[in-house]
Amino acid sequence: MNWTSFFKSELEPIQPYQPGLREEQIREIAQVPSIHKLSSNESPFPPFPSALEAMRSCLSELNEYSDGSCYALKQGLAVEYGVPVDQIMVGNGTNELLMLLAEACLTPGSRVAYCWPSFIVYRMGAQVAGAAYDEVPLTTDGRFDTDALLRAIRPETKMVALCSPNNPSGGIITQAEYERFMAAVPEQVLVVLDLAYTEFATDSEHLAPLSWYDGVRPLVVLHTFSKIYGLAGVRVGYGFAPKPVVEAVDKLREPFNVNTVAQVGALASLGQDEELERRRAENALERTRLSEAFDRLGLAYYASQANFVWVFVPEPERSFEQLLERGIIVRAFPGGGGLRVGVGNHEDTLATIEAFDQLFGSDK
Ligand SMILES: Cc1ncc(COP(=O)(O)O)c(C=O)c1O
């Protein structure tokens, strides 16, 4: 069998998503007992107690399929955000929604634009659809360059993805930039605003998530329960979009794409603003501690509004290995000259700073 010609030619250039290393994988490499996994932008916070209780109590009903319409969760989201139920889509993570949107909109000959480096799934969605992709450099301070993105739009462009705060740089799109972008973007272009990390942003300039959303213009606003809500393991993300977009995604998604545990856990996580605020503040504090340590060590970094910080180091791959030996798992981006260091709890921060001191301090 010639497997290369057997599969769709669109699959050829695609690199399968590389997950961050798991703790067990580095137990042998690490020379220390405690491992700090800061490679996948996960939350150090567990699911909310109410979510844990709801998820536990649904286990005995798992002989039944999940609710394919996500009825209760959509009702909850509709109340929380004031968006009509028929403008809400729920997916097996935002990841699935991004792939479904690409599948629904992109064709060979069409194009998608976004800034780079950013979330790899924007590129994967285009590749699977056989569409072309235009990757516009971030601003020098690691933020989506919305003006340059506007200039990159061509007649064939069907979709533009915006990410704020951006993964892996942590930089934001300001409300002023977003206003300028939305006022100028051609009306036949679907704007996909990925707000996976928005709950971590503390900068008052950060764009307001629903400020341009009216359920009519071609704008999709995506959120996830994977990050600040601590539900990455059950996979649940959601989006607000005009009804025709939701209907297109409904045609392509699996009938039971969001499992029962995810649905009840997500629903029980809503309406807990105080705890969200506490988590946001704690993340900001640890993020500042990390950034100050990088300042002290003379390492440049992008000012981050997310739960990770991109720090520039001379040899990212070597530093990645050296950090592993010290029990710190980060993500290396050799092409970009940096490491993406997740913001964890205080213990994680202390261990990370100690390891960076050993690698980059003056008495190293
Ligand atoms: C920018 C961005 N969007 C979307 C996702 C996907 O999140 P999930 O599929 O867990 O909802 C991630 C995950 O890391 C991300 O970084």
Judge whether residue 103 has pLDDT over 90: yes
Shortest-distance atom of ligand 1 to CA 97: 9
CA-to-CA dists, residue 137 to 117, 141, 207, angstroms? 7, 11, 20
Site to probe by mutation for ligand 1, drawn from 119, 162, 343 as the one with most ligand atoms within 8 Å of Cβ, is 119
Residues 141-190 pLDDT 10s: 999 999 999 999 999 999 999 999 999 999 999 999 999 999 999 999 99
Judge whether residue 136 has pLDDT over 80: yes
87 Cα–ligand 1 center, Å: 20
Pick the range with the lowest mean pLDDT from 77-91, 301-315, 324-338, 340-354: 324-338
Residues 199-253 pLDDT 10s: 999 999 999 999 999 999 999 999 999 999 999 999 999 999 999 999 999 999 9
- 3-state SS, residue 251: helix
Decide if 279 contacts 47 (C-beta within 8 A). no
Residues 113-130 pLDDT 10s: 999 999 999 999 999 999
Q: Domains, the chain, ranges and CATH?
A: 19-46+273-360 (3.90.1150.10), 49-267 (3.40.640.10)
Q: How many CA atoms lie within 13 A of 198 on its CB side?
A: 21
Mean pLDDT in residue range 87-97: 98
- Stated as kind and residue range, the H or E segment containing 193 is strand 190-194
As given in the structure block, the two tokens for residue 57 are 């109590």
The pLDDT-based confidence of 359 (bands split at 50, 70, 90) is: very high
359 Cα–ligand 1 center, Å: 30
- Bridge-based pairing state of the strands 219-224 and 237-240: antiparallel
Judge whether residue 13 has pLDDT over 90: no
The pLDDT-based confidence of 364 (bands split at 50, 70, 90) is: low
Whether the model clears a pTM of 0.75, i.e. scores above it, the answer is yes
Site to probe by mutation for ligand 1, drawn from 224, 257, 304, 343 as the one with most ligand atoms within 8 Å of Cβ, is 224
Shortest-distance atom of ligand 1 to CA 163: 1
Shortest-distance atom of ligand 1 to CA 119: 1
Q: Indicate the average pLDDT of the chain.
A: 95
* Ligand 1 pocket, Cβ-based, cut-off 6 angstroms: 41, 93-95, 119, 163, 167, 194, 196, 224, 226, 232, 237
User: Which pLDDT score, from 0 to 100, does residue 33 have?
Assistant: 83
User: Which pLDDT score, from 0 to 100, does residue 336 have?
Assistant: 76
As given in the structure block, the two tokens for residue 260 are 């029962």
Judge whether residue 323 has pLDDT over 70: yes
Q: How far apart are the C-alpha atoms of 237 and 222, rounded to whole Å?
A: 7
Shortest-distance atom of ligand 1 to CA 227: 10
Q: How far apart are the C-alpha atoms of 131 and 150, rounded to whole Å?
A: 19
As given in the structure block, the two tokens for residue 162 are 């915006």
94 Cα–ligand 1 center, Å: 6
Site to probe by mutation for ligand 1, drawn from 38, 114, 121, 173 as the one with most ligand atoms within 8 Å of Cβ, is 121
User: Which pLDDT score, from 0 to 100, does residue 363 have?
Assistant: 67
